[in-house]
Structure 1
Amino acid sequence: MVDLIKNFKSGPLDVYRKKSTFDWKKLKLFLESEEVIKYENDLYEELQQYSEFRGNNVTVQRTFEEERIVAARQSNLLRNIKLLSLEYTIQNFKFPTTANRIRTQFIPSAAIKFTVSNTLFVNAIYSLGTGRHVKFITDIENGKISGCYCLTEIGHGSNAKGMQTTATYNKERQVFILNSKDFQAAKCWAGGLGQTATHALVYAHLIVNNVNQGLHCFIVPVRDPDTLLAYPGITVGDMGVKIGLNGIDNGFLILNNYEIPRENLLNKLGDITDDGQYVTPFKDKNKRHGAALGTLSGGRVMITAMCEAYCTKALTIALRYAAIRRQFGPTEDNEVSLLEYQTHQYRLFPHLATTYVLRVFSTWLVEALYKFNIETALGSNKDEQAALGMEIHAISSASKAVAGWITKYAIQECRETCGGHGYLKAAGIGSIRDDHDANLTYEGENYVLIQQNSNWLLKLWPLILNKQEISSPLESINFLTEALNILEHSKFNIYNIEEICSPKAIIDIYQWLVCYLLKKTYTSLQDKLTSQSHFWAKSSIQVFKAKNLSTAFIQHLMLQIMLQKINEAPEKPIRDVLLKLFALFGLCSLEGHISTLYEGCFATTPQLATLREEAILMLCSNIKNDAIALIDVIAPPDFILNSVLGSSDGEVYKRLQTAIFSSPQSMSRPSWWEELKPVAKCKL
């Protein structure tokens, strides 16, 4: 099976590759499986067949219009690749994660355009629609139409319930009349909407017989597929130049008494009868909302996976460069590589550990979402699906935020550890940083979004006080059944580095943290409710309580999923190196929780802080010889990495010379050189 994985070309990186304590090919097989690696190899081979994907040089400066043309062409090509079709990827739950990662790392703008139209748009129809909507999916797959996803409004983003777009049902004509109240109600930032989408999934408040039935999703024709001209009653346009990802035509949409047929309502969760009455299979409105939330989570789940893709790409560049770059040494003629320095290890290795955790976690989360979408499409147990949808919503709200923040810091650290050369566009890190920046905002601004998780958790504390069993479909909160016992009996009683690095010790710390922060946040909320409204009371507990609660919760879940994966490892060397990454992620992520651990008397001596620091440095030192092999396991191939610093052959300086010498401005005289001539002074 290891024959599926090609050897790297021999070169300067061999020094570290030979020091590895494990077989990197076996670890890759364990993480991804033989089936997924075959899929990767086939997809890599096919992507290189198309001229539109070749020469994707990061040093090329494209105009705004050129960015749009290239992304549109690449996105259209992706539609024609069988390996990326919904039918093909759905055969294995891991294929969507792999496909998303490869697209994100290779052609980010085109990847998002493609994903929005062919994944989010289609999955929403599968999940929320019925048989009458299959024609739209068929048209997407055949390239007759292209879709986009319209939730956010100019004046309302994360507050979905505050959306102002309405869809009023006209019983006589059996149509919905869609309206944007004003410019603040305009749908905005929808990828693909700006110039190319022909159809939009529009979330609007459904008004039936003067009763607001809440947000529902509608398929809205926006442009004529033959001309790409907007239909009457539609005002649609582009948001303009952005910081990054300018290949995506993010757009706005204003609806003015725009009519669509009754059949265009995605009607699985709610429908209009022939006699004009609203019906829903959910007696409890909150359960209908919960089922809808699972579908709305698709974007946040994919962003969590995108964060791992960006992290992997940036770290591949930074770690390989660190192994080659030599600076200072014990003697003037004996410079050592940056990878040998403690400071460099501390700056990069925790992010390497995080990337592995994110890869395992995001794969698990994407699989959970796909299973949810399939079960929803099949109309399985609605109560269970509502609970699962709510849990996926809560998890993805926290994971998208925390993964986004983690990746932001990781990419910036990678840029800085590459020194001046990392500032070159040819290094490739700058474009990763710009493209990732949007992940911190879209699908919900992180600080607002993470509150969705804490709101969900806070409802559990009264159940805990009543000693009720706590459980959820994905088992993310099951440990809270023992919350009172954990708070009463868990204390830090560790006196050596080896023990603090153990999975049990780390999981115990995080479980205590979640339980303590849940109790602390709930108690604070109740105290404030005595003098404040619920709105302001909840707003005033966010910074040091609710946000920390959600962060600790998702960190614990990531560790839990990572540990489950490690326990499946086929041999000791693989298990050992993954346990080092597990411990490094767990201990480094405690950085923001140290004061809480002492405040709550989980720890009462300096031992926890001291041992944690010593353990982190020990783990970094122990990971050093495995770092290049670890990044080789998850690194994208060179044609996707596209970096003069991070190539798998390690020939940094040869590639730097080629890039610098081949630059159009490298050794040419500027066309405006005559303007630099001294100007003769006028005599008085």
Structure 2
Amino acid sequence: MSNLRRLDLLKTHLLSKFPTSSLDRSLDEYRGRGEKINSSLLSQLYFEDGYDTLMKMRKAMTKNPLFNHYEEAEMPREKLRERVVQQIASLYFSFNLSYEVDKKWPLGKCHFCFGLAEHDLGLTTRFCVHIILYIDTLQNIGTKKHLELINRAYQLLDYGSFGMTELGHGSNVAKVETTATYDHNAREFIINSPTPTSAKWWIGAAGKTANMSVVFAQLIVDGVGRGVHAFVVPVRDYATHETLPGVILGDCGKKLSNDGIDNGFMLFKNYRVPYDALLDKYSWISPDGKFKTSFKNQDKRLAVMLGGLIRGRTAVVIGSEQNMRHALTIALRFSAIRKQFGLQNGPEVPILDYQTQRYRLIPHLARAFAIRTGGLFLCSNYIRIRPKIDNEPESDDINEHHAFLSAFKVVASSYGVACTQDCREAVGGLGYSSYSALGRLRANQDTHLTWEGDNTVLIQQAGKFIFKQIQRTFKGYKINAPTLSILKTDYEECKALKQSFENSQQLENEKMLMELIEFKFNHLLHKALLKVQENAQVSTDMLEVWNNSQVFHIQDLGKVYGEYVMAREFLKFVHDIEAKCEVTGRVIRKLFYLYVVDTVDRSIGLFLENALNSQQAKIVKDSVIRLCNEIAPSSVSIVDALAAPDNVLGSAIGNSDGQMYTHMIESVENGPNVYEKPEWLPLIHQIREASKSKQ
């Protein structure tokens, strides 16, 4: 806490106009309920490889006066952007991040970014654009001659941006309008923005910060379009920070949230850059001016070029879990403290005791665990395939990773938006206050739906991968994707599944639950195949066939693929923690049961077609409520084990000490002009005088 903040709070305490508050022990009382979990063990397994980095960053942010949500809430936009840069600089050089470190520890800079996100998504997004999108692109598709730029970026001598999205094109990168025309005589590229919609748009750090950018443009050689390529170019003078001649940079203005990010636009007018600006690992121009490429198929080359998005999309998955975890920490602590109603003539009870409050919060806690365990799998699998990104960019392993990463990103970001909204509603009017932090978390989470790929478009990558795997079986080949080992080519075999449980206790069987989610996947797969075949009979354009098979079919198939893999990894996590602590494992197992049972319940109509009967559907719904009731007494202890420190969380109603009313009063009374007359008081008098004159 800063000295200024201490003085403000002391002043507020001494000058407060509210009655003195007594100590509220409600939160501690609720913590006494439920089973005694091993908080340290849960935390270490939950954060796994990133645990040490996260704890180090939490400690550093707690001691650092620059990390203060209450001050940031009142800052104008430019001041907030300055603060974000100060925050990054204050932490970055305490961590040894470099190209060599990244090759040895591919998750190192990811964990640094995840640590930043504990404070605020805008903070980590601003840095991820540089440390992941910009640098990863140089590392993935650059060559040895670009090593100096890579090292400069790690040293923060250069600050990079990622110039892919345009005003008129986002997801369809292949059709960006920016051009890069090769001039062989000068051995240069001439970059142009030929239309208003070709302006690079929403480019993080382009507004004020970046002096470098990776720019995606249509390469033209001898008048022939060679598809989209990436160029690394300076956009501001290194010494003066003035925009370079031939480049136009501007600020995209105020956004829904994340105003600490200086999103900007870029335009180019006959901007000449040397040949070495081309990131030419997979495509190059020979000394005699001939275009050469390792890929005959432009789409495959573009897919490889976008490999820099892998860690960016992973950050969306982890970031969604962080937003959910923060929101649930606030909402569950609030719900344990807040007392309303109760039995007639009896005392008020914590609202977390009510069925409705438990149902709106506890399933989100289960989903947060599913995302985190899925994220752990993403990270470990990324380490496994990392060498192939350089040497075998079209390998089956990388294609599979892209597929479930796309599905995870869509599922996690969607879960996150639903969770943060429900948490906001669950705490009532206080959740609408900036001091609760829930508005910030909800607005920040919203950007995950479209950042790093619009969800509706991105999920199609998972769908295409699944369809390619099923096509392999039609040709007599085996499926070569481990995450799709559940795929059944025989629809009759899929429909044959009939579950036999007669009560909730029998339903809580990990094998049975995994069979149900596998059934959902295969059922949707065959429904999607039939839809594609049906559309193919009335159209010869396969793009039209594909597009007309999305809603209720391919979209849902891609999402359940992500949910299945998350459930599989969640179950592995349960087994791991059970082996180390029986009690903690028992509590987390119930969360796993809830995750899958709730997933079944949300698609109960689908299961009633084959796998379940109407009585079993009722048992599923009853089980969701029962599991919520069983988990709720331990829910505060669970979030306590994983929660960020109070100042990092930044919520007046979510503090770990349970004194939320005191903190809310302090926050409000410490705000500007709380008890002052309005500056526009003369306007009120004018209205009164005008009213009198008309009487």
Does the pair score TM above 0.5?
Answer: yes
Equivalent residue of 2:189, what SS? strand
Partner of residue 301 from structure 1, selected from 314, 319, 334 = 314
For the aligned residues, what is the CA RMSD?
A: 2.5
After TM superposition, the structure 1 stretch with the greater mean CA deviation from structure 2, 536-545 or 642-651, is 536-545
The CA deviation string for residues 111-140 of structure 1, in whole angstroms up to 9 with x for no partner, is 211111122211221111121111111111
Amino acid at match of 1:544: F
Counterparts of 2:694 and 2:561 in 1: how far apart (Å)? 77
Q: What does residue 522 of structure 2 align with? A: 515
Gap regions ≥5 residues in structure 2: 1-22
2:592 is the alignment partner of 1:582: yes
| 1:501 to partner: Cα distance | 2.5
Partner of residue 194 from structure 2, selected from 159, 181, 199 = 181
Q: What does residue 362 of structure 1 align with? A: 375
Equivalent residue of 2:501, what SS? coil
Listed as ranges, the matches of 1:185-196 within 5 Å are 185-196=198-209
Amino acid at match of 2:664: L
> Between Structure 1 and Structure 2, how many residues are aligned?
666
Q: What does residue 278 of structure 1 align with? A: 291
Q: What does residue 5 of structure 1 align with? A: none
Cα distance, 1:247–1:286 mapped onto 2, change above 3 Å = closer
| 1:351 to partner: Cα distance | 0.4
Matched-pair contact (CA < 8 Å) for 2:26–2:337: yes
| 1:422 to partner: Cα distance | 1.4
Equivalent residue of 2:576, what SS? coil
Amino acid at match of 2:454: E
After TM superposition, the structure 1 stretch with the greater mean CA deviation from structure 2, 111-120 or 67-76, is 67-76
Q: What does residue 425 of structure 2 align with? A: 416
| 1:285 to partner: Cα distance | 5.3
Matched-pair contact (CA < 8 Å) for 2:72–2:80: no
Cα distance, 1:129–1:86 mapped onto 2, change above 3 Å = closer
Q: What does residue 40 of structure 1 align with? A: 54
After TM superposition, the structure 1 stretch with the greater mean CA deviation from structure 2, 291-300 or 437-446, is 291-300
2:113 is the alignment partner of 1:100: yes
Q: What does residue 380 of structure 1 align with? A: 391
Cα distance, 1:178–1:592 mapped onto 2, change above 3 Å = farther
Q: What does residue 146 of structure 2 align with? A: 133
Cα distance, 1:173–1:620 mapped onto 2, change above 3 Å = same
Counterparts of 1:89 and 1:588 in 2: how far apart (Å)? 39
Matched-pair contact (CA < 8 Å) for 1:308–1:355: yes
Q: What does residue 606 of structure 2 align with? A: 596
Equivalent residue of 1:279, what SS? strand
Partner of residue 556 from structure 1, selected from 561, 564, 578 = 564
The CA deviation string for residues 214-240 of structure 1, in whole angstroms up to 9 with x for no partner, is 222211211112122121221221111
Counterparts of 1:282 and 1:82 in 2: how far apart (Å)? 38
Partner of residue 667 from structure 1, selected from 668, 671, 675 = 675
Matched-pair contact (CA < 8 Å) for 2:207–2:250: yes
Matched-pair contact (CA < 8 Å) for 1:79–1:85: no
Counterparts of 1:270 and 1:481 in 2: how far apart (Å)? 40
Amino acid at match of 1:270: S
Q: What does residue 458 of structure 2 align with? A: 449
Listed as ranges, the matches of 1:21-420 within 5 Å are 21=35, 22-33=37-48, 36-53=50-67, 55-57=68-70, 60-82=73-95, 92=105, 95-282=108-295, 287-369=300-382, 371-373=384-386, 375-376=388-389, 379-384=390-395, 387-420=396-429
| 1:671 to partner: Cα distance | 3.4
Q: What does residue 610 of structure 1 align with? A: 618
Q: What does residue 430 of structure 1 align with? A: 439
Counterparts of 1:217 and 1:683 in 2: how far apart (Å)? 69
Counterparts of 1:667 and 1:538 in 2: how far apart (Å)? 61
Cα distance, 1:95–1:294 mapped onto 2, change above 3 Å = same
Matched-pair contact (CA < 8 Å) for 2:653–2:664: yes
Matched-pair contact (CA < 8 Å) for 2:110–2:311: no
2:478 is the alignment partner of 1:469: yes
| 1:622 to partner: Cα distance | 1.0
Q: What does residue 492 of structure 1 align with? A: 499
Gap regions ≥5 residues in structure 1: 1-8
Cα distance, 1:585–1:100 mapped onto 2, change above 3 Å = farther
| 1:315 to partner: Cα distance | 0.7
| 1:96 to partner: Cα distance | 4.5
Q: What does residue 10 of structure 2 align with? A: none
Counterparts of 1:437 and 1:522 in 2: how far apart (Å)? 32
Matched-pair contact (CA < 8 Å) for 1:347–1:413: yes
After TM superposition, the structure 1 stretch with the greater mean CA deviation from structure 2, 308-317 or 154-163, is 154-163
Equivalent residue of 1:227, what SS? coil
| 1:414 to partner: Cα distance | 0.5
Cα distance, 1:373–1:595 mapped onto 2, change above 3 Å = same
Equivalent residue of 2:631, what SS? helix
Matched-pair contact (CA < 8 Å) for 2:206–2:265: yes
Matched-pair contact (CA < 8 Å) for 1:126–1:373: no
Counterparts of 1:85 and 1:340 in 2: how far apart (Å)? 50
Equivalent residue of 1:219, what SS? strand
Matched-pair contact (CA < 8 Å) for 1:514–1:552: yes
Q: What does residue 468 of structure 2 align with? A: 459
| 1:395 to partner: Cα distance | 2.1
The CA deviation string for residues 321-351 of structure 1, in whole angstroms up to 9 with x for no partner, is 1111111112434111111111111000000
Cα distance, 1:49–1:319 mapped onto 2, change above 3 Å = closer
| 1:40 to partner: Cα distance | 2.6
Equivalent residue of 2:180, what SS? strand
The CA deviation string for residues 544-575 of structure 1, in whole angstroms up to 9 with x for no partner, is 11111111111101111212222222232232
| 1:300 to partner: Cα distance | 2.1
Partner of residue 663 from structure 2, selected from 633, 655, 673 = 655
Matched-pair contact (CA < 8 Å) for 2:388–2:398: no
Amino acid at match of 2:88: S
Matched-pair contact (CA < 8 Å) for 1:294–1:390: no
| 1:95 to partner: Cα distance | 4.6
Counterparts of 1:36 and 1:76 in 2: how far apart (Å)? 21
Matched-pair contact (CA < 8 Å) for 1:313–1:641: yes
The CA deviation string for residues 230-253 of structure 1, in whole angstroms up to 9 with x for no partner, is 212212211111111111111111
Q: What does residue 4 of structure 1 align with? A: none
The CA deviation string for residues 574-626 of structure 1, in whole angstroms up to 9 with x for no partner, is 32222211121112223442222233x233x2033211101101111110121
The CA deviation string for residues 504-527 of structure 1, in whole angstroms up to 9 with x for no partner, is 122111212211211211221121
| 1:644 to partner: Cα distance | 1.0
Matched-pair contact (CA < 8 Å) for 1:454–1:547: yes
2:537 is the alignment partner of 1:530: yes
